[in-house]
A and B are shown apart, each in its own frame.
Chain A
Amino acid sequence: MPTIGVKRDLLFDALGKKYTDDEFQELCFAFGLELDEVTTEKQMLTKEQGDVAAAADASEEIIYRIDIPANRYDLLCLEGLVTALRVFQGKVKPPKFEFVEPAQRQVLKINPSTAQIRPFAVAAVLRNVTFTQDSYNSFIDLQDKLHQNICRKRTLVAIGTHDLDTIKGPFSYEALPPEQIKFVPLNQTQELNGVQLMDFYATHAQLKQYLPIIRDSPVYPVIYDANRVVLSLPPIINGDHSKISLKTKNVFIECTATDLTKAKVVLDTIVCLFSEHCAKKFTVEPCDVVQTDGTIISYPELAVRTERISVKRANAYIGINEPASKLADMLTRMYLETEVDAKDSDSLNVKIPPTRHDVIHACDVYEDVAIAFGYNNIKKSLPAFMQIAKQFPLNKLTEQLREQVAQAGFTEALTFTLCSRDDIALKLNKKIEALPAVHIGNPKTLEFQVVRTTLLPGLLKTLVANRKMPLPMKLFEISDVVLADEAAEVGARNERRLCAVNCNKSAGFEVVHGLLDRVMQVLSVPWKTGGADKGYYLQATEDPSYFPGRCANVMYNDAVIGRIGVLHPSVLQAFDLTTPCSAVEFTIEPFV
Chain B
Amino acid sequence: MSSPEQSELTERILKYLEGVEQVDSLQLAKEFGIEHQKIVGAVKSIQAHGERLLHVESVTRKSLELTEEGQAVAQGGSHEANVFAAVPEQGIKRTELLAAGGASAQLGFSKAMSLGWLWLDRSVQPTLVRRKVSAIVDEVREQLLQLAELSAKDVAEYKKRKLLQELTIKSLLLSKGAEFSTTLTKLETDLTTDMLASGQWQQLQFKPYNFDALGAAPARGQLHPLLKVRSEFRQIFLEMGFSEMATNNYVEASFWNFDALFQPQQHPARDAHDTFFVKQPAQCGPLPEDYVQRVATVHSVGGYGSRGYGYNWQLAEAEKNLLRTHTTAVSARTLYQLAKQPNGFKPAKYFSIDKVFRNEALDATHLAEFHQVEGVIANVGLTLGDLIGTLHEFFRKLGISELQFKPTYNPYTEPSMEVYCYHPGLAKWIEVGNSGIFRPELVLPMGLPPDVNVLAWGLSLERPTMIKYGINNIRDLVGPKVDLKMVEEGPICRLDHD
Query: Contact residues of A with B, CB < 8 Å?
Result: 1, 29-32, 34, 69-72, 149, 152, 155-156, 259-262, 316-320, 358, 360-364, 366-367, 370-371, 375-376, 378-383, 385-392, 394-395, 399, 402-403, 405-418, 437-444, 447-448, 451, 458, 461-462, 464-466, 469, 473-476, 480, 482, 484, 486, 488-494, 496
A-B contacts, 14 listed (Cβ < 8 Å): A32-B408, A70-B409, A71-B409, A260-B310, A317-B437, A319-B383, A319-B385, A375-B405, A382-B389, A395-B234, A414-B478, A414-B482, A441-B279, A490-B281
Chain A residues with CB under 8 Å of B478's CB are 414, 416
Interface residues of B in 278-319 (CB under 8 A from A): 278-285, 302, 304-311
Having A378-B385, A448-B359, one finds 6 other A-B pairs with CB under 8 Å, namely: A29-B406, A261-B310, A383-B349, A394-B246, A399-B234, A486-B281
Report Cα–Cα, A417/B244, bound state, in Å. Answer: 22
Tell whether, in the assembled complex, residue B479 and residue A416 are in contact, meaning their CB atoms are under 8 Å apart. Answer: yes
Q: Which of A262, A415, A469, A494 has the most CB of B within 10 A?
A: A494
Docked CA distance A229–B309 (Å): 36
CB within 8 Å of A: which B363-402 residues: 367-369, 377, 379, 381-386, 388-390, 392-393
Q: How far is the CB of A322 from chain B (nearest CB, A)?
A: 13
Select which of A30, A414, A488 is within 8 A of B479 by beta carbon.
Answer: A414
Cβ A409 vs Cβ B266 within 8 A: no
CB of B251 within 8 A of CB of A491, answer yes
Q: Chain A residue with minimal CB distance to B483?
A: A466
Please name the residue on chain B nearest to A155 by beta carbon: B266
For B355, the chain A residues whose CB sits under 8 A away are 417, 480
Q: Are the C-beta atoms of A361 and B383 separated by less than 8 Å?
A: no
Find out whether the CB atom of B248 lies under 8 angstroms from the CB atom of A259.
no
Q: Determine which of A383, A416, A441, A486 lies in contact with B377 in the assembled complex, contact meaning CB atoms within 8 Å.
A: A383
Contact between B323 and A360, CB atoms less than 8 A apart: no
Q: How far is the CB of A213 from chain B (nearest CB, A)?
A: 13
Does chain A have a CB within 8 A of B75? no
**Bound complex: CA A362 to CA B439 (Å):** 10
Distance from A31 Cβ to chain B, minimum over Cβ atoms (Å): 7
- Does B34 interact with chain A (Cβ within 8 Å)? no
Which of the 9-residue segments B12-20, B42-50, B171-179, B221-229 touches chain A?
Answer: B221-229
The answer for the CA separation of A370 and B381 in the assembled complex, in Å, is 16
The answer to the question of B321 belonging to the interface, with a C-beta cut-off of 8 Å to chain A, is yes
A467 vs B250: C-alpha distance when bound (angstroms): 32
Q: How many Å from the CB of A306 to the closest CB on chain B?
A: 13
Q: Determine the chain B residues whose CB is within 8 A of the CB of A406 once the complex forms.
A: 220-223
B409 to A491, Cβ gap below 8 A?
no
Within 8 A of A (CB), among B64-79: none
Q: CA A439 – CA B251 in complex, angstroms?
A: 11
When distances are taken between beta carbons in the complex, the residues of chain A under 8 Å from B241 are: 386-389
B385 touches A318 (CB 8 A): yes
Interface residues on B, range: 35 or more
Whether B272 lies near A442 (C-beta < 8 A) is: yes
Chain B residues contacting A69 (CB-CB under 8 Å) are 407-409
Measured CB to CB, the nearest residue on chain A to B271 is A152
Return chain B residues, CB-CB under 8 Å to A376: 404-405
**Using Cβ atoms and an 8 Å threshold, which residues of chain B touch A414?**
224, 226-227, 478-479, 482
Q: Is the CB of A409 within 8 A of B221?
A: yes
Q: What distance in Å separates the Cβ of B464 from its nearest Cβ neighbour in chain A?
A: 16
Report the separation of the CA atoms of residues A385 and B272 in the bound assembly, to the nearest whole angstrom.
Answer: 42
Residues of chain B lying within 8 A (CB to CB) of residue A407: 220-221
Interchain nearest-CB distance for B225 vs A (Å) = 9
B185 within 8 A of A: no
7 A-B pairs with least C-beta separation:
A319-B385, A32-B407, A491-B281, A319-B383, A461-B480, A261-B310, A69-B409
Please give the distance in Å from B159's CB to the nearest CB on chain A. 50
Collect the chain B residues with CB atoms within 8 Å of residue A70's CB.
268, 409
CB neighbours (8 Å) of A394 from chain B are 246, 248
Partner of A469, one of B220, B244, B247, B484: B484
Bound-state CA distance A466–B385 (Å) is: 49
| Neighbour of B306 across the interface among A361, A443, A493, CB < 8 A | A361
Q: A382-B389, A409-B219 are in contact. Are A363 and B227 (CB under 8 A)?
A: no
With A442-B272, A490-B249 given, is the CB distance from A31 to B407 under 8 Å? yes
* B471 adjacent to chain A (CB < 8 Å): no
Nearest B residue (CB) for A32: B407
Q: Is B121 an interface residue (CB 8 A)?
A: no
